Structure 1
Amino acid sequence: MKLAYTTADFDRISAFLHRSTGILLTKENDRMVYARLAARVIDLGLDSFAAYIDQALGPAAIEERDRLVSALTTNTTHFYRESYHFDFLETEVLPGLIQRARSGERIRIWSAGCSTGEEPYSLAMCLLNAFPDVGNHDLKILATDIDRDALARATAATYGANSIREIPKPFLDRFFDHVQTTEQYTPKPTVRSLVTYRQLNLIGDWPFRGLFDVIFCRNVAIYMDAETQEQIWTGFCGALHPGGHLFIGHSERMSQSLRSSFTAVGNTIYRREP
């Protein structure tokens, strides 16, 4: 079934997505928008994108707007993606955090834009490897994403071979249960218990009670315009303890205006200055 889909339809969807999430679509994304939403338009019994947009942007269509955002959000990830970040975390950052946790301090790590859970569970494995009794201390990982469908998959925590391909074999054996009949892998309860998932829009309010010691936000801001990126980097600056670390995506760059607040200490790794 061929649905009516015009440039005006794309522009309306693009404007909504940018306004509500900060994600910036370009004209090159118009076929992607059609491909990801066409089945939903048909399922609703509609014959045009214009009719779908009218319905999805209506005042009572909160769930449909969430579905639209989920359809247009990119969730490409796997365990230990950009592994040098996890190496730096374990060798350079965790020793100090572990010492502070053992002395009774509250330690918090934030995986912002956590997608389907591979990043926060990778962080949890790093913690357990370096700090086996972490569960006896006040050290937790908060994982947030705007995409409710991605968060549901993260909570279900069932992964195939593609997701686990970069997990070191000793970690896979130690931290995962393997369902051989389906070739699926699930993080063990000790891993999952360290992570709390919450839905959060990075361009909305951040209802946090305390500061973070580590923030991972990788390959999220790359989909946003410069003004929105600046807003997010500034927010992270205010959400980090002095001396805390921010990890961003390999193709992302810290805005020039915040260079005095952060010192580059590794490949797209920054330390928050006092």
Structure 2
Amino acid sequence: MADERHEDHSLSTKEFKFVCEYVHSTTGILLNESKREMVYRRFSRIIRERKLDSFSDYCHLLQTKSEEEENYFINAITTNLTSFFREKHHFDYLQEHEIPKIIARENKAQAQKKSIRIWSSASSTGEEPYSIAITLLEAMQSQLPQWDVKILATDIDSNVLAKGAAGIYDNSRIEDLPKEIQQQYFIQGTGANSKNVKVSKQIRDLITFKQLNLLHEWPMKGLFDVIFCRNVIIYFDKPTQQELFARYYEYIKPGGLLILGHSENLGAYQKYFSNGGRTVFRKPALCNQVVEG
């Protein structure tokens, strides 16, 4: 059978190089030899789903029908590892320090409509933006109705965005959360859905899910109080990282935050930010400098 045949095929150096170059040119993500086994597994699944006999057949398909096939391929090959309140210290910092700081700023400004804008720029299946929304509700409590709160959740993968927008998760995804959080913000399924929970409407209403390739144009017009860019920068090469840090900087309000993953750092761009905590970086409140891209 064809499915069994191509399971035994090796991924040639030429084919692996093609995949790496294609992914880099379309997404900016840098794959190296350490990702070869991951590429092989996902490439094998793609071939099964597309009912092809070899890796080279699919490489040819990408070359000849690139525009039609690109979205499917990127969805299949990119990594989406996430969980609710992953790297919890970031959400603790948001609740204990940053949200009170924003509230005090807006109250002092006596704005007609007080607002908070947060961007989850690699939102995957939605656990990160939902964790942000829960953190906001926990921190603001009864004040929330007086505020205009919006969370933007973006990702390159349309499949994971659809899952995030649906807000339905296996029970196991929330079993480590405090019981009060589970009961207040998740609805237990019944019958055929008894093994699933759904994020409550009050949480979902705060979030807009949109597909976005970080290397393409960013259509957002306003600035953000906080940008989460966690565990995605590591997949880009150094020049692309520098370009992205410069763009993120321009989209952060003066005094706002950029939050990276635990294994990421700003490198040379550290000079444009101050440290706010573990991989939490603050843009100066008064910004006269121009960031070099």
User: CA separation of 1:167/1:57 partners in 2, compared to 1, >3 Å: closer, same or farther?
Assistant: farther
Give the match for residue 91 of structure 1.
Answer: 96
Whole-angstrom distance in 2 between the partners of 1:119 and 1:24: 23
1:12 aligns with 2:22: no
Give the match for residue 139 of structure 1.
Answer: 149
Q: Deviations over 1:196-223 (max 9, x none)?
A: 0000011111111111110011111112
2:278 to 243, 259, 267: 267
Whole-angstrom distance in 2 between the partners of 1:91 and 1:63: 46
Give the match for residue 152 of structure 1.
Answer: 162
Whole-angstrom distance in 1 between the partners of 2:160 and 2:12: 29
Measure how far apart 1:94 and its partner are. 0.3
Where do residues 1-274 of structure 1 align in structure 2 (5 Å cutoff)?
1-3=4-6, 4=9, 5-58=11-64, 60-100=65-105, 103=111, 104-132=113-141, 133-181=143-191, 182-256=194-268, 258-273=269-284, 274=287
The Cα RMSD (Å) is 1.7
Measure how far apart 1:43 and its partner are. 3.2
Structure 2 gaps of 5+ residues are 288-293
User: What's the % identity of the aligned pairs?
Assistant: 39
Amino acid at match of 2:130: Y
Whole-angstrom distance in 2 between the partners of 1:53 and 1:13: 8
Amino acid at match of 1:241: K
Partner SS state of residue 216, structure 1: strand
The answer as to whether partners of 2:114 and 2:146 remain within 8 angstroms in 1 is: no
The answer as to whether partners of 2:46 and 2:76 remain within 8 angstroms in 1 is: no
Partner SS state of residue 57, structure 1: helix
Measure how far apart 1:243 and its partner are. 0.1
The answer as to whether partners of 1:57 and 1:65 remain within 8 angstroms in 2 is: no
The answer as to whether partners of 1:143 and 1:197 remain within 8 angstroms in 2 is: yes
TM-score, normalization: structure 2? 0.87
Partner SS state of residue 5, structure 2: coil
Whole-angstrom distance in 1 between the partners of 2:53 and 2:82: 34
Partner SS state of residue 75, structure 1: coil
Structure number with greater Rg is 2
Amino acid at match of 1:130: A
